[in-house]
Structure 1
Amino acid sequence: MRVLKTLLAYLGSAALLCCAAGNLYADEAPAPKGSLVIIGGGLRGDNAEVWQRIVQLAGGKGARIAVFPSASAYPEQAGLSIIKRLDQYGANAFLVPVAVKLADSDFRKAADDARLADSVRHAGGVFFAGGDQARITRALLREDGQRSATLDAVWEVYRRGGVIAGTSAGAAIMSSTMFYEPKTVLATLKQGVTEGREIAPGLGFIGDDVFVDQHLLVRGRFARMIPAMLKKGYQIGLGVDENTAMVIDSRREVEIVGYTGALLIDLSRATTDEAAAEFNVKNVVISYLDHGDKYSLATRRYTPAPDKAAGKLDPARPYSKMPVFSGDILGSNAVVQLMEKLIDNSQEEALGLALSPPDEASPDLGFEFKFTKTADSVGYQSPMAEAYSIYNLRLDIRPIHLQLPLYQYK
């Protein structure tokens, strides 16, 4: 606690939103040699696979890991909890008290403190806590949008070969654009996204070509990724579920570790009818990467987990012949459940609907999600469990209009 109090003495109080100029994160330095561990939130203390991977990538037993609680509403409590967990798995973690919500503190002064930055610079890894991602960029960027000394130190750790990990909000800041003050998923489809409101610059550790989102499957967020990606020109988006991580190495190889999986959204061949009043998109490619699967961002190739390698599904011998439909495609895990039922089915298409509650704006406007198998679609199943990996389904989204009220009471 004496060290903590000394660090806290560096701080005072101030506040300002970060500048929204994406090119400020451009960097001419060589590609980082380190790794990213992007966690979808809800990381449980007993998820040894994820915690141990972070410690391993930071240098192994005794590794120094700098914990940034910047996103949290209760930074000291959140930071100390993460430190306790990292240390349980063999690390020697320490708190970096740079947080907007830290009482009696000046986060801008702390972010540029030379001794604090030096302690981060000599760490083997960095961990960003969850909360509100806007607090991270606000705390670590100067008022002109330039990197603070501690953020420069984080980048040095990454370039040198260390690991940058983050959960929930700490995952959102990994891409150069992040959700900032987002609306609901359905409202995002209806109303789109605005720079500086629903979306804003992130810290860009993964690079400028990949969009990242979190809490993905349990909250149906795959659909909100698409308008944001179209707005900013991203072709590839990665969305990771809770208690799960995407580990990305210096070769840009993605590996899924943890409880469930991640969705990959590919817009490289997608088209939209810009003359239409409502959101629409055709020829999105959507894939589900399960635990143990790998994907190369460099070559765009998938590798199923070892337990699925011999379990490639035979389209001539489908498990089911029943039509596949979801009345709430944005519901918890609904999209993956639909994809699993379609890939091992004689049916070539599946439909999902997203409809509004009566009290939401434009309640008569909904969306149809059509999933289609193509010549590139392939699925794998583990012989040990009903676990699927599903690659390259086509997704088309179009608006639908309802006649309200749906029910007439006499």
Structure 2
Amino acid sequence: MRKLAIMVLLLSLIVSTSLVGTITWGEDVQETGSLVIVGGALRADNDAVYEAFIERAGGDQDAKIGIVPAASGSPAKYANLFVEDMVTRGLDESQVVILPLAVKDDSKTQDVDESLWSDNGNSAEVVQMVENLTGIWFVGGDQLRITEILINSDGSNTPVLDEIWKVYNKGGVIGGSSAGAAIMSELMIAGGDSLNALRNGYTEDFDTASMDYQNEGGLVVTEGLGFFSHGIVDQHFDRKARLGRLVVTAYDNKEIWSHAYGVEENTALIYDGRLNKISVAGTGGVVILDMTYAKKDSGYTGIKVSYLEGNDQYDLAMNKAEMDADKYTTIGYEYMYTQETLWGGPMSPSQRFRDFIAFELVDNEAKSKVSTYLLDEALSGYEFSFSKAEDTEGYWGQSGAADLYSFENVALEIQPIDLMVKMDVQKSDKSYKVVAGDVLWKIAEKFNITSEALIELNQIQNPNVIKVGQILMLP
């Protein structure tokens, strides 16, 4: 384990237990460019996203694209894949350049050591390569590698980053997927999972030898590149269940940014600076958290959640959704009447974030509230409750036989919870309640049984974790 020097910034941002942004970003600039922020796992056949990027770069005749492969462990491979994606969509290879910005060598490219590019953020030659480009694309991987190469150790911009900013402020487009999305906001989420973020908050200790810290452990936040100044952005949002970690980060910074944005995979949040609006392209959607009236005690209350997809837009100046005019409102006209409570998970219907709220709540007359759970092996964790509020609205449409759904202002509450699973009484009519000081082998010895039998009967995943009050069935 090691502590990155960049985390010194984090210490300056922490007040008590909350992270508060104090970064100074220099003189205000008029944002005239566009952003194509992809939530990761961008498929090669996602024409809507690629075309949105190319169009904002000047179209297939005039676009001049620079690719930043710094985040990837295989910089050349993924940069060249994006070159192919551009050429497939009408650009000539001469219109696309791979910028030599990387910190990790790809052993498969034997003719070049990409790790030698690690100081190129300050290279005059690379600055010249960026001049006159109309679009910049950041490939996915580890977002800390991007900030490492484009932000100096003293926190100042490298000349290459300043030149990329010029591309943006002249009306160009900045795009990126996964790590390339995470770097877009001023405060960047770099790692951690939702359960640890809610339970333990932030961490300074993480191992960058692998990218495991991105998906597990305490919350890691640091400085991003700041192209999207309207809130914090998170990616891989639905598949990696990142709602919890975004809530923690957004709440601690809500006095700076009242809204936060989660982008689903194979989907782009598109920001047009001249219009100051968000639109969506791709197969999923964008989750918007309104933290204006959020409060924190043992959990979180007062959060409002909206979801955009397809032809929906969001006006950032008004903080107001502009839903697809072809959709019908659902509140008061609900199609479903489903009373059963659903827990969510791979064995349940409505597994997607959108579907869980749309089908089970906003288009369901029988329900005013639905809940799902984030739990550890001891069934301790958090309940996520979504409710209809006075200003909640759902929007339904169709594309062929497929349902289209959006919603706005669904109330979200997150509270700690401990659950107990009632065992099948046919397996045993005897039980034992765990008390302070108990360990599994002592309980087994007390009842003259083996630890293995106790583990199997109670389906215990981790024999070292039992909780006070937990009911153990006995043979």
TM range (shorter): 0.7 to 0.9
Aligned residues of 2:79 and 2:139 also touching (Cα < 8 A)? yes
Gaps of 5+ in 2: 13-20, 106-112, 206-218, 421-466
- Local SS of the residue matching 1:342: helix
Q: Which residue of 2 aligns with 1:12?
A: none
Q: Which residue of 1 aligns with 2:108?
A: none
- Separation (CA, whole Å) in 1 of partners of 2:386 and 2:340: 10
Corresponding pairs, count = 381
- Local SS of the residue matching 1:382: strand
In structure 2, relative to structure 1, the CA distance for the partners of 1:127 and 1:145 (3 Å cut) is same
- Separation (CA, whole Å) in 1 of partners of 2:24 and 2:73: 26
Query: Please, which of 281, 291, 306 is the counterpart of residue 257 of structure 1?
Result: 281
Q: Which residue of 2 aligns with 1:376?
A: 391
**Matching of residues 193-342 of structure 1 within 5 Å:** 193-194=202-203, 198-207=220-229, 209-233=230-254, 234-250=257-273, 251-273=275-297, 276=298, 280-308=299-327, 311-315=328-332, 317-323=333-339, 325-328=341-344, 333-340=351-358, 341-342=360-361
**Matching of residues 6-405 of structure 1 within 5 Å:** 17=6, 20=9, 26-62=25-61, 63-91=63-91, 92-102=95-105, 103=113, 105-182=115-192, 184-194=193-203, 198-207=220-229, 209-233=230-254, 234-250=257-273, 251-273=275-297, 276=298, 280-308=299-327, 311-315=328-332, 317-323=333-339, 325-328=341-344, 333-340=351-358, 341-346=360-365, 347-356=367-376, 358=377, 363-384=378-399, 385-402=402-419, 404=467, 405=470
Aligned residues of 1:376 and 1:392 also touching (Cα < 8 A)? yes
Aligned residues of 1:364 and 1:402 also touching (Cα < 8 A)? yes
Q: Which residue of 2 aligns with 1:11?
A: none
In structure 2, relative to structure 1, the CA distance for the partners of 1:408 and 1:100 (3 Å cut) is same
Q: Which residue of 2 aligns with 1:5?
A: none
Q: Counterpart amino acid of 1:27? A: G
- Separation (CA, whole Å) in 1 of partners of 2:407 and 2:292: 18
In structure 2, relative to structure 1, the CA distance for the partners of 1:333 and 1:387 (3 Å cut) is same
Deviations 1:36-95 (A, max 9, x none): 000000111111111011111001113111100010001111111111112221332110
- Separation (CA, whole Å) in 2 of partners of 1:327 and 1:145: 45
Which is worse superposed, 341-350 or 38-47? 341-350
Aligned residues of 2:7 and 2:204 also touching (Cα < 8 A)? no
Deviations 1:214-245 (A, max 9, x none): 01111211221001112233320111101100
Give the TM-score of the pair, scaled to structure 1: 0.87
- Separation (CA, whole Å) in 1 of partners of 2:417 and 2:80: 49
Deviations 1:152-177 (A, max 9, x none): 11100001100000100000000111
Q: Counterpart amino acid of 1:48? A: D
Give the TM-score of the pair, scaled to structure 2: 0.76
Q: Counterpart amino acid of 2:362? A: I
The percentage of counterpart residues that share the same residue type is 32
Gaps of 5+ in 1: 1-14
Alpha-carbon RMSD: 2.3
Q: Counterpart amino acid of 2:163? A: A
In structure 2, relative to structure 1, the CA distance for the partners of 1:178 and 1:324 (3 Å cut) is farther
Aligned residues of 1:220 and 1:333 also touching (Cα < 8 A)? no
Deviations 1:168-200 (A, max 9, x none): 000000011112232x22122111124786111
